[in-house]
Each structure stands twice: as structure tokens, then as C-alpha cells.
Amino acid sequence: MAKLFLVCCLFLSMALPAMTLKLGVVAPEGTSFATLLKGLSKEVGELTNNEVKLKIYYGGSQGDEPDVLRKIRLGQLHGGIFTGKTLGDINGDVRVMEIPLSFGANRQKALETLESMSDFLSAKMEQNGFVNLGFFEIGLVYLVSKKKISRWGDLPGIKIWLWEGDPLVTTLVEATKLVSVPLPLPDVLTSLSTGMVDAAYSPPLAILALQWNTKVKYLLDYPITYSVGAFLLDKKEWMKVPAKFQNKIMEVSKKCMRDITEANAKANQESLIALKQGGIEFISFPEEDYKIMGNMRREIITRLVNKLFTQEALDRAGKQEQVK
């Protein structure tokens, strides 16, 4: 009888299906980003003896970020890699990291701010049903244009692409009197070619990856914002992960996100050099324009505090005095 009991227990343990977490990712296969995620997937399998597996759908095969978020809420996916606008759809406080004209070219200050805000922002995400397995840096964001923009006063009337429904960028566009052209990301290249848009914005690595450099001539040599991302899982699915594995998975996931940050920083630096060598003209505004930009930043904060993000998040980021 004892032998039969042991055999039954062994059979039941072998029959338990592995838990598969399905993730949607916009990054295509073959990129360093995807390579690091594949390494994470392998490591999670090894750490859990394949009791927990990551099934990653690359290249936007599950749709753009809003599509992935919708599918998570429908239970069709369990998590994904998200960036600013979609993170803000989950909880707007993360957008304090991306307030325009906050960090200038000081990437180190931006990264230190992200690290200091990580626990606070992760708690906010969890309140809204998502567990954060790590923030990562996408990088400083630059404006590129087909038309020469020599000073701040040249911006009004420029047709610029933006993510549809992004209140942060919409507020910047309105304040600068740019003309907004909301489009899905894959349509930007064609729209630059046809003249539907004159300008777009992105970290240098993405400007090259998306081939915008083949359609634009100028780059504003002053980052307009800082872009971040995060690896999020539906909290309900995370709670199904055996407790004995949760800390291990969290640890290796955060390390992977740190590796992605380092890889992105290196790629952005190399991409800026490649853009200049490829004939893109780097433009600096006159010194007096930077005071105008500071005033513009304060106006954007005034419009969005306690609407998109809370005063508490703003104070924690140390970005601005109390807004009246």
C-alpha cells in the first residue's frame, strides 16, 4: 500500500502542468532587447525546473502596447513590456519621469531619479493590478525633423507625430503650438516620407531602428524628455506563481531590466554618433531659448499635476516646487 501511495504521488507530481506566462512585446526578434529577454526566459525555466515558463510574443505580433494591455485585461495575455504612455494608462504617476525638459542631457540624474522612485511607482502599479518586475531606461528622447528648426520660435506650425491619447505629449504640443498628427508607431516612417508629418521624437537607437533617419535632416541637440519602460505582470497571474519561486523570478527579472538599461545606453550613444556621421545636422538653440523652455516645463506641470500625476509623485521626484 505504501509503495502504491508513493507511485501515485510521483505520478501526480509529474502530471502537474507547467505554468506558462504569456507576454506581449513590441521589440522584434534579433534585437539586443529580445536577446536579453530570451536569456531571462531561459533563466526562469532553469530556476523553477520548468514549473514556470515565459512565452514571449515578439515584434508586436500581439499588437501595439495598448493592444497588449487590453489582452491582459481580457485574460488573453499575462504581461508585457510597456513604455511611458501605456504605463501612464495603468498609473499616471510614472509620467513624472517623462515631464518634458526636465533632465536636459543629464542622463545620470534621470536614471538616479528613476531608481529612487522605483519602489513608490511599483506600489502604485500594484494598486492598479500589476506587479512590476523591473523598470528599465529607454533613454533620452530627441526631436528629429525634415524642416530646420533653429530656435524655439520655429516650432509653431511644425506637424509632429504623437502617440494618440498621450496627455503629456499633447500638452507639450499645445503649449508649443505644434500641429499634432496622432498615428500608430509603424505609420510614422511612411508619414515622414509623404509629408503628413514633419517631425517625430524618440531615443537615438529607435530613430535608427525605425529608419526615420532616412527621412529627416535635423536633430535638436537637446533632449526633450526621458523615456522609461517596465516589465509588468497581471497581479492575479503573479499570485499563481508558486511562492517559493517569486523572489527568484523577481531578482533575475530586475537584473535583466538593468542589463537592458546598460545595453540601451550604449546603443543610444553609438546611434547618436551614427546619426551625425550619416549626415543628420545637429542643431542647438540660442542660449535665451532655454529660459523659455524652463517656463514651458512649468506650464506643462501646472496643467497636469493632480490630473495625470499626483503632487506626491512630483514631490518625490524632486522635480518642481509646490504648484499652486
Residues 6+ apart with CB under 8 A from 119: none
Q: Does pLDDT of 1 surpass 60? A: no
Residue-range definition of the domain harbouring residue 57: 16-317
Interior angle at CA 230, CA 227 and CA 232, nearest 5? 155
Query: Which CATH number is 167's domain given?
Result: 3.40.190.170
Q: What is the pLDDT of residues 144-200, one digit of tens each?
A: 999 999 999 999 999 999 988 889 989 999 999 999 999 888 899 999 999 999 999
Domain assignment present for residue 5? The answer is no
| Helix residue ranges per DSSP H, the chain | 2-15, 32-47, 65-73, 84-90, 107-127, 167-176, 188-194, 204-209, 235-238, 243-277, 289-304, 311-317
Alpha carbons 70 and 74: distance in angstroms, whole number: 6
Domain assignment present for residue 103? The answer is yes
**What's the total number of domains in the chain?**
1
Domain assignment present for residue 80? The answer is yes
pLDDT computed for residue 11 by the predictor: 43
pLDDT computed for residue 17 by the predictor: 58
| Residue-by-residue DSSP string for 33-59 | HHHHHHHHHHHHHHHTTTSEEEEEE-T
Q: What is the pLDDT of residues 257-313, one digit of tens each?
A: 999 999 999 999 999 999 999 999 999 999 999 889 999 999 999 999 999 999 999
Burial of 54 (0-12, 13-18, 19+ CB in 10 A): buried
Domain assignment present for residue 179? The answer is yes
Domain assignment present for residue 235? The answer is yes
Domain assignment present for residue 88? The answer is yes
Domain assignment present for residue 173? The answer is yes
User: For 58-85, what is the mean pLDDT?
Assistant: 95
Q: Does pLDDT of 5 surpass 80? A: no
Going by C-alpha positions, the residue among 42, 251, 260, 250 that lies closest to residue 138 is 260
- What is the model's pTM? 0.88
Q: Which stretch of 14-23, 46-55, 162-171 has the lowest confidence by average pLDDT?
A: 14-23
Domain assignment present for residue 54? The answer is yes
